[in-house]
A and B are shown apart, each in its own frame.
Chain A
Amino acid sequence: MSDDRFEDFLREAAERYHVPPEVPREDMWLAIAEARRHSVPRSRRPGWRSWGIGIAAALAIGVGIGRLSVLFNEDPSVAATPAGEPSEIPVAYRVAASEHLGQVEVFLTGFRADARTGGPVTDAAPDARRLLATTRLLMDSPVANDLVLQDLLEDVELVLIQIAQYDARPGRGEFEFIDESIDQRSVLFRLHSAIDADAAGMPYQGAL
């Protein structure tokens, strides 16, 4: 059997793959118009700066609660909890981690979309640095007791470092490098899973 014959066969057979029906132009146009009427203009959406401040504040509260817990905790059974159990992570840290991972997910998705579609990615570096700072705070917090989450944070850190150093000039090829990093380590998928698991009240490890 020759390659040419197979490719001809494949091309012919593939034409019958998911043959599209007539395009429902009017229905879709109405839905688009409706959605745009209710959408918030990009300029009025909260920026990374305000999110970053919110997350930093949540972490600061988490650190405070954590220290107070240590000071006033007289129950030795808490200290005896096995390392690596998600339930061991104080609620404030867990909330901060979940919120942070959500912001990273949105940021990475937006960065990829903008880089691929020729959108403005030159302002991504400052946002990446802000998220990077929070990521490192979390890596040094009790959140790191969850080894799977720690592993995810390390991968997020790597990708954010790359974006913080991103050079958008044509021909640099850096976006492909970042894109591959995100894909090879399934960063977005794991972010989704961690966030979904937290929203469902499940431990991170159950979803990862």
Chain B
Amino acid sequence: MDDRALIARVLAGDSGAERLLYDQHVDGVYRLAYRMTGDDDLAREYTQETFIRTFERLDQFRGDAALSTWIRAIAGTVVLNGLRKVKRFRQREVELEEGVAHAATARRAEPDLKVKLEQAIEDLPAKYRMVFVMHDVEGYTHEEIGAALGMPVGTSKAQLFRARARLREALSDFAGEWAS
């Protein structure tokens, strides 16, 4: 069933079509949310929010792009907004509990490539991280990223370039790992 027919059935109140739409797109949304958060609860929350908004606004889908692109765009917005809230919350937690900051420092003192890479990716600005995860981890094209995040293809490429440059700098202690 193509997107247009599926949407028509959903808008007509066909609950089977709702489930079909969900099944067709949920994996990609959850994977992206999990890659961005590393947290099952948050990934579930963002995925659920994405589909709630999708169903709520489906009557506004104009069909200019594929349905998958439109849903990814909603997911991108939900995840980025959600991460901002989480970041603010965590910043406050760290400010309140000095011990957390000490623990984080201690972790950074044990340079293991995997840990360092994860930390470096997490330290990227949310938008850079989103582009990096979508392109280098989930295999999206720049055209798909641009459509999903509402940015020109050139911006997507530039943000990926900057993200990689930051990671390269953060991982400079491990240069031998890829130079050899």
Contacts and interface: CB of A to CB of B under 8 A. Distances in A.
Interface of A: 1, 5-11, 13-18, 20-21, 23-25, 27-29, 31-32, 35-36, 39, 42, 109, 112-113, 115-120, 175-176, 179, 188-189, 192-193
B175 interface: yes
Nearest to A11: B136
Main secondary structure of the interface of B (DSSP, over half): helix
B167 interface: yes
A5 B179 contact: yes
Contacts, number: 123
Contacts of B118: 17-18
B47 A28 contact: yes
Interface string B4-31: 0000000000000001001100110011
B interface bracket (residues with beta carbon within 8 Å of A): 35 or more
Contacts of A27: 44
Nearest to A13: B117
A35 B54 CA distance: 13
21 contacts: A5-B179, A6-B178, A17-B118, A17-B133, A28-B26, A29-B19, A29-B22, A29-B26, A31-B48, A32-B51, A36-B52, A112-B77, A113-B74, A115-B150, A117-B57, A118-B62, A118-B65, A118-B73, A179-B150, A189-B84, A192-B88
Interface of B: 19, 22-23, 26-27, 30-31, 34-38, 40, 43-44, 47-48, 51-53, 55-57, 60-62, 64-65, 70, 73-74, 76-77, 81, 84-85, 88, 113-114, 117-118, 121, 132-133, 136-137, 149-152, 155, 164, 167-168, 175, 177-179
